[in-house]
Amino acid sequence: MLESVKNSGSLASGSIKIGGGSINNFNENRAVARLSELLALEMGVSPATARQIRAAAGLHDIGKQKIPKSILYKPGKLDAQEFEIMKTHTKLGAAMLSSIQGILGEMATLTALYHHEWKNGAGYWGVPSYYLPDYVNITAICDVFTALVTERPYKGAWPPEEALAYILNQAGTQFSDDLVGVFIPLVRNEERVSALFEGVKN
């Protein structure tokens, strides 16, 4: 699947139309959640489970509520100490969600805790993502894409094809080849993905 994506021509020639957007006027969590549901469906997950993945994904960054605003909205690169504090939004979120009973509680907790892990173990907590449930890795790639095409205090919104080029480049290190191979065609071809970002202005 990944090979066919790589051989499908220049990434710059893609035709998807997704606007970037301001963090202030665009509900990123909802986009990450819906995109995660669509990716899960594309990977063959049942609709009921895909809805649970959506619910868990919608809570992945809830721990950011407990991160100081001076760090969360810093208009520049975080220094080493600030980055260590930022990383704790995963553990703080997991602690907040762990009291939810049942499978949704488990999914939301693990998604919050591990959504910044990489395939090669270079993520926040050094857990190779192939040890993690698929739904965590689904949310992770959707979170990265949404962050890239969205304006941040420290960067502008990337054009979607540049974001896809980044994700393709991270295949094998940050993300699994299989996940990237499904994700890129989904974003390019699925109108429901474009619709997610409609109305968001650069």
Residues near Fe ion, by CB under 5 A: 61
- Name which of 89 and 188 has its Cβ closer to Fe ion: 89
Select 16 or 148, whichever has its Cβ closest to Fe ion. Answer: 148
CB of 115 to Fe ion, least distance (A): 6
Closest CB to Fe ion among residues 61, 134: 61
Q: Rg of the chain's alpha carbons, rounded to an integer?
A: 16
Nearest approach, Cβ of residue 6 and Fe ion (Å): 28
Nearest approach in angstroms of CB 24 to Fe ion is 18
Q: How far is the CB of 64 from Fe ion (least distance, A)?
A: 7
Give the residue nearest to Fe ion (CB): 61
Retrieve residue 12's tokens: 């710059």
Nearer to Fe ion, 16 or 144 (CB): 144
Q: How far is the CB of 175 from Fe ion (least distance, A)?
A: 15
Q: Report the Cα–Cα distance between both ends of the chain, in Å, rounded.
A: 31
Residue whose CB is less far from Fe ion, 5 or 167: 167
Q: Please report how close the Cβ of residue 7 comes to Fe ion at its closest, in angstroms.
A: 33
CA angle 54, 141, 62 (to 5 degrees): 55
Q: Which is nearer to Fe ion, 37 or 61 (CB)?
A: 61
